[in-house]
Structure 1
Amino acid sequence: VLAALSGADQHHTQTYLTQIVNNMNTKQPGSDPKFFWWGQENGNFFKDIATHGAMAVSANSKNPEKALEVYDLIRNDKEIYMLFNYGIEGEDYIINASGVLERPAGWDQSTMDLGTDYWWGRTDEFEPKRTTDAPNKDEVIAQLDATAKDYPYSTLIINKSSIESTLGAMAGVLSEYIPQLAYGKFADPAAAVAEMRQKLKDVGYEDARASIQADMDAWKAARGL
């Protein structure tokens, strides 16, 4: 019974705070969803870099200037941004007296949601508060902002030519273990992690690490760091 009522989802912070908490509490009362992030134990996590979720105009575009103009509008014009992502105000969504987005009576996400999946163009300051937000949304974001570090390696380019096959082999090991670890499939997780780490070493982890470290050292030396 417990196994049938347990689960995990690896996704964005916003997805958890604006969708998962409300969905779980509404559709499965008492489910008590929790949020954990990579690096939570030692504070080793970073703020998004400028190119996170970035878009580019195809080199084969017949009208690259116009394509960029359209992208500029749907990302930077608030009226168009809201229309593109949330639909027509008064029909698809309502901004209530508290300035919070809610859906009108009869709105059904399964058939009426626009589904733009707008990670490729989201503008944080245009994102409205929603009635479906987790009660502790602001608290969680403040906690992350207070701890997250600025990412120092945004201009570092890794030369993968000599380790491409090693990285592929490592990906194979991770794909075998990570999903099962995330979903609690191992009777002894600590033993499974130890086994996974050994397999990573067996396929060349140390060589890949040394190669990447050399690139990082050269990058730092070139900048006097």
Structure 2
Amino acid sequence: MEIAGKKYFRAAGGILLAGILAGCGGSTQDKAREEPGTVQLTWYLCSEGPQREEEAVEKAVGRYLQEKYHMDVDLDLVMYDFAGYGDKMKMVLASDAEYDICYTSSWSSNYYYYAGKGKYLPLNAYLEGEEALKRMILPEVWEGISIQGEIYGIPSNQVFFKQNYVTVVKEYADAYGLDMSKVHRLEDLDDFFHKVKADHEEIFPLALSEAGAMGKIQLALGFEYLAGEFLPGAITVGDEGLTVVNQYSLDAVKSYYELVHRWAADGIVREDAAMVSNNGLEDMKAGTAIASVNAAFKPGVEAIEKSNFGGREVVFATLSDPWMTTESISSSINAVSANSKHPEEAFRLLTLVNTDETLYNLLCFGIEGEHYTVNEDGTVHVLEDSGYHPNADWAFGNQYLAMPREGQAPDIWEQTKEENQKAERSPALGFSFDTSRVNSQIAAVQAVLSQYRVPLDTGMADPGREYPVFLEKLEEAGSREIIEEMERQLQGWTENTR
């Protein structure tokens, strides 16, 4: 089909990455030449992956911006799936490729690391005068993403706390007598999973992908990240002394690796989970996975998880208390490239996406009547086989502007604001790590993580053999120096804020 043209082929393949790094593809450059007065803005995003009808939505965005704001913008959305986004952006950022906006966070394409390396544009000067934008986001969020007093991105208004949880398809919980009120740890599901597997050989009960699960259950494992997911450096939950530890050396993490390795051997998770993309959504929708873990139990999650599991009813158990951390408040940010040729226009677009309800919902849901309809109660019904459903509203910007989805309460965002206010605050909330003194060690540690983390996190690697080697390699790469620098900065921050 020609409906998506070259752009969809480029995005779906991983993408002729050389073409992307050279300038995001020939079709984009051709359009810029054809329309010399148009500002071309390229925006990298994580979502469920490239959408067949992205171009139709991009054109609709361009028309809306022209009609309402007299902005002549040709928007190029480049979407990668959730699990693969970080690796794709690592290549883009390493090459200093031209683009304008990118999604960044604590869990993918590490905001603190890349801001510290000068990859993102400082925004303090641009934020002057944008009082509405600044007021709509909690002060502690701005503080937590500030590095040496400078802000490098616009955080998405959304749930700002984490409360780890597990979802189970209700028909299986009922059939096997699973009492979710007695599930407090992953281990509590062991007997249930094995019973399901014994009766349904085709099912791998727990959905797992290359993203692993450790980042989604960090609070359940007893720690919180201080500088984005996966980078060594964390504090144990509730530690008022703020002692920085290497989370990979914790007994709870070792036990998790042992559990997931046993589950891989028993067919509870797929043995090839490290090769599975998009958080295992395909298995969940197809019914070949009947449970999942996730990071943030929040208002409206029932509708989201029901959709993830193909419309089947689901039940939940929380694995931690609601906890607001530096990692949780930095879990969705959009930054302007330091190399952008159009920084003013890129910043203005981000400002509008976060303040203009029509523009925001156009990006989230597409074109009404073509990609979705609105029910009488004001909720969104995504059309079957819609050609545009990124399913990542929080990645675009201010989720408080989003129309509720089917099954979500009309006041979902008021509920979210209330839950944000009630969530327990970490004693380290507001601390942001300046990586500049240890960037070389971080690069070396990331190389070790790329080799060992995913196999251990998905059960492919035998922790009895690989785990000690992993810790040794981290030490050799400079994890101790990173942790010591983090400890130094954290103690200095503590002295100035307490």
* TM > 0.5: yes
Selected match of 1:8 from 208, 230, 255:
208
Selected match of 2:361 from 60, 82, 85:
82
Superposed CA RMSD: 4.4
CA contact (8 A) 1:49 1:151 kept: no
> For residues 29-69 of structure 1, what are the alpha-carbon distances to aligned partners after superposition, in whole Å with 9 as ceiling and x for unaligned?
2520311449x6697762643794133376765572x5544
Unaligned runs of 5+ in 2: 1-199, 217-277, 297-318
CA contact (8 A) 1:92 1:103 kept: yes
Selected match of 1:149 from 409, 425, 436:
425
| CA pair 175-43 structure 1, distance change in 2 beyond 3 A | farther
Aligned to 1:126: 401
Give the alignment of 1:1-225 within 5 angstroms. Answer: 5=204, 8-9=208-209, 10=211, 24-26=283-285, 28-29=286-287, 31-37=289-295, 46=325, 48-49=328-329, 52-56=332-336, 61=341, 64=344, 66-104=345-383, 107-109=384-386, 112-113=387-388, 115=390, 121-131=396-406, 149-150=425-426, 152=428, 154=430, 156-161=432-437, 163-186=438-461, 188-189=462-463, 191-221=465-495, 223=496, 225=498
Aligned to 1:16: none
CA contact (8 A) 1:100 1:128 kept: yes
CA contact (8 A) 2:325 2:428 kept: no
CA contact (8 A) 2:336 2:346 kept: no
Instruction: For 2:398, give the aligned amino acid.
Output: T
CA contact (8 A) 2:207 2:291 kept: no
Q: How much does 1:180 deviate?
A: 0.5
| CA pair 7-119 structure 1, distance change in 2 beyond 3 A | same
Distance 2:337 2:474 in 1: 37
Instruction: For 1:199, give the aligned amino acid.
Output: K
Say which SS state the counterpart of residue 55 (structure 1) adopts.
Answer: strand
| CA pair 185-132 structure 1, distance change in 2 beyond 3 A | farther
- Equivalent residues, number: 204
Instruction: For 1:71, give the aligned amino acid.
Output: L
Instruction: For 1:180, give the aligned amino acid.
Output: P
CA contact (8 A) 1:8 1:182 kept: no
Say which SS state the counterpart of residue 174 (structure 1) adopts.
Answer: helix
Distance 1:130 1:168 in 2: 40
Distance 1:178 1:97 in 2: 47
Distance 1:63 1:45 in 2: 31
| CA pair 151-132 structure 1, distance change in 2 beyond 3 A | farther
> For residues 135-158 of structure 1, what are the alpha-carbon distances to aligned partners after superposition, in whole Å with 9 as ceiling and x for unaligned?
xx99xx89x966663574545452
Say which SS state the counterpart of residue 434 (structure 2) adopts.
Answer: coil
CA contact (8 A) 2:379 2:404 kept: yes
Q: Using the aligned pairs only, state the percent identity.
A: 15
Distance 1:200 1:84 in 2: 41
Unaligned runs of 5+ in 1: 14-18
CA contact (8 A) 2:207 2:290 kept: no
> For residues 75-126 of structure 1, what are the alpha-carbon distances to aligned partners after superposition, in whole Å with 9 as ceiling and x for unaligned?
211122212321222222112134321123xx424xx116496655321212
Deviates more, 1:208-217 or 1:3-12: 3-12
Distance 2:279 2:445 in 1: 31
Distance 1:99 1:73 in 2: 23
